């Protein structure tokens, strides 16, 4: 294969949409962003696989109303989506006003508050559920975790769309495959984890893993700059 063909495969396409393209290899970007997305979603699935039913903390509800407790997660996700929509475009406009080119990585800035909210929500939910606190308190924790996870997920999806433009469908599909594989197999570690550490400390470990991912958006931005 010629050098020209290799360059075409390994570098980002010119977008023509006012967003500056990259010099990094697309495959590495998909792997990295997909890995983060997969781990964050996998943590949610693992926490839902714990000994405490997330839809019935403290076994306070009968079968007929148990499903309503997922409204906490739904409300949190809705708040996260609205917050992302308001913040992401403002960040892009702010960067443009400062004379900086619109880079796809700026979409990842909104991951930072999401990455902070996720471990807070996990710790809030699991420790209050373990201690038998009034049922509304752990449900608020699921809302915080939901807000964090949806913000992370949308940030990565929009980043991939802006970065890959005409190849965005393939990038998002690859991200979805990675996330789905983690979502399918990572929860298998849930019961052994909780049997060894208990509900509170098991999810504290998951929260620490989520905390370790907070600097990742800065890593993307630093590499780009």
The whole-angstrom separation of Cα 119 and Cα 206 is 8
Apex 180 CA angle, 70 and 55, nearest 5? 15
Of all residues in the chain, the percent with pLDDT exceeding 70 is: 76
Is the pLDDT reported for residue 2 higher than 50? Answer: no
> What is the rounded average pLDDT for all residues in the chain?
75
State the CB neighbour count (10 A cutoff) for residue 100: 12
Residue 147's Cβ-side half-sphere holds a number of Cα atoms within 13 Å equal to: 19
Instruction: Specify burial of residue 48 (Cβ count, 10 A radius: 0-12, 13-18, 19+).
Output: middle
Give the pLDDT score at 52: 52
Cα(184)–Cα(179) distance, integer angstroms: 9
Binning pLDDT at 50, 70 and 90, where does residue 24 land? very low
The backbone torsions φ and ψ at residue 215, rounded to the nearest 5 degrees and listed phi first, read -75, -10
- Per-residue pLDDT tens over the stretch 182-210: 878 888 887 788 788 877 788 788 888 88
- More reliable by pLDDT, 49 or 126: 126
What is the value of pTM for the model shown?
Answer: 0.76
CA–CA separation, 114 vs 93, rounded Å?
Answer: 21
pLDDT in tens, 38-95: 777 777 777 766 555 554 555 555 566 667 778 888 999 999 999 998 898 888 888 7
pLDDT at residue 28 in the model: 65
Token output for 24? 């990094």
Q: Per residue in 148-157, pLDDT tens?
A: 989 988 988 8
Domains, the chain, with CATH or none: 24-52+74-224 (1.20.1250)
Secondary structure (3-state) at 102:
strand
């Amino acid at each position: 294969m010629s050098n020209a063909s290799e360059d075409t495969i390994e570098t980002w396409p010119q977008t023509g949409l006012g967003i500056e393209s990259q010099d990094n290899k697309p495959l590495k970007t998909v792997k990295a962003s997909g890995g983060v997305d997969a781990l964050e979603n996998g943590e949610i699935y693992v926490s839902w696989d714990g000994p405490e039913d997330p839809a019935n903390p403290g076994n306070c509800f009968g079968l007929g109303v148990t499903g309503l407790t997922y409204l906490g997660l739904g409300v949190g996700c809705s708040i996260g989506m609205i917050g992302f929509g308001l913040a992401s475009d403002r960040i892009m406009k702010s960067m443009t006003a400062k004379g900086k080119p619109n880079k796809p990585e700026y979409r990842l800035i909104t991951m930072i508050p999401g990455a902070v909210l996720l471990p807070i929500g996990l710790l809030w939910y699991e420790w209050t559920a373990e201690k038998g606190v009034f049922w509304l308190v752990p449900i608020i924790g699921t809302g915080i975790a939901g807000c964090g996870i949806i913000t992370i997920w949308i940030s990565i999806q929009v980043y991939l769309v802006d970065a890959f433009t005409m190849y965005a469908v393939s990038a998002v599909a690859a991200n979805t495959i990675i996330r789905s594989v983690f979502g399918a197999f990572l929860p298998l570690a849930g019961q052994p984890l909780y049997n060894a550490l208990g509900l509170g400390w098991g999810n504290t470990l998951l929260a620490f893993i989520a905390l370790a991912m907070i600097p990742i958006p800065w890593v993307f931005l630093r590499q780009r700059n």
